[in-house]
Each structure stands twice: as structure tokens, then as C-alpha cells.
Amino acid sequence: MTNRLVQDDPQSSHMSNVPDKMDWYVYYRVRAEFSASLQLRVTLMQDRLLREFGIAGALKRRPQSQDGMHTWMEVYAGAPPDFDAILASAVLVANLTELVDGVRHTEQFLDGSSCA
């Protein structure tokens, strides 16, 4: 899912603001006993994304577990709007889906100054 503001009329006096960079947040749940495996796989995946695409990532986890599950979040600051395809491919290569319980939820955010 890519959020873009698109100008309908090229003759319009309003300039469109099509962002070239967004922050991506991906969160999901993993059984606590798979946490070490997940952390290793995501770290390797993020190293590859940085090396091949120049996109730095961070990995975060909620401090508490709930029902034997941890909630994890990947953060990619300043990623391009087409990052969804890049990330989907990287997730397949890293085989993350076998460790994730349910769905990986993805959201994109713009800097506040980009929204004006």
C-alpha cells in the first residue's frame, strides 16, 4: 500500500506533493521462543537492504510478552514509495513468514513538513 498525493489536472495552480521518501513501520507478532531466530533473520535482511539499496532499518520489540507472543516492529526511515516491492522480496528471501504469527502490518508516514 503506497500513499501518494496525485495531481489530477496538470494545468491546476495547486502543486501536487508526491513524496520521494516515507517512513515505513512494519509490525507483527512472533512466538517468544522464535525471537532469537527472528532477530537474526531480520538483522541479516536489514544488512542486505542497506548494502543493496541504501535503506537503513531498525528492529524493535515491545518489552513485555502477551500470551507467549512478542510484538516486533521494523522501521525504515526515508524509504522510497516503491519500497513495498523491495521489502516483500527481502522478506521472502529471509523466510520471515514462517516465524510470524498472523499478518505483517505495514504503515507509511510522511514528515509533517511534507504534508503542508
Q: For residue 5, give the nearest of 20, 25, 23 by alpha carbon.
A: 20
Q: Which amino acid is at 68?
A: G
Indicate the number of domains in the chain.
1
11 domain-assigned:
no
- pLDDT over threshold 60, residue 14: no
Cβ neighbours of 72 (radius 10 Å): 22
83 domain-assigned:
yes
Secondary structure class of 115 (helix, strand, coil): coil
5 domain-assigned:
no
13 domain-assigned:
no
Which residues constitute the domain of residue 48?
22-110
| E strands in 1-116 | 22-31, 57-61, 69-79, 100-109
Rounded Cα distance, 16 and 12, in Å: 9
Q: Which amino acid is at 62?
A: R
DSSP one-letter code for 34: G
Banded model confidence at residue 111, pLDDT cuts 50, 70, 90: confident
User: In this predicted model, what pLDDT tens digit does every residue of 24-45 receive, in sequence order?
Assistant: 999 999 999 999 999 999 999 9
Q: Which residues of 4-27 are buried (b: 16+ CB within 10 A; e: fewer)?
A: eeeeeeeeeeeeeeebeebebbbb
Banded model confidence at residue 20, pLDDT cuts 50, 70, 90: confident
User: In this predicted model, what pLDDT tens digit does every residue of 57-95 receive, in sequence order?
Assistant: 999 999 999 999 999 999 999 999 889 999 999 999 999
pTM of the model: 0.79
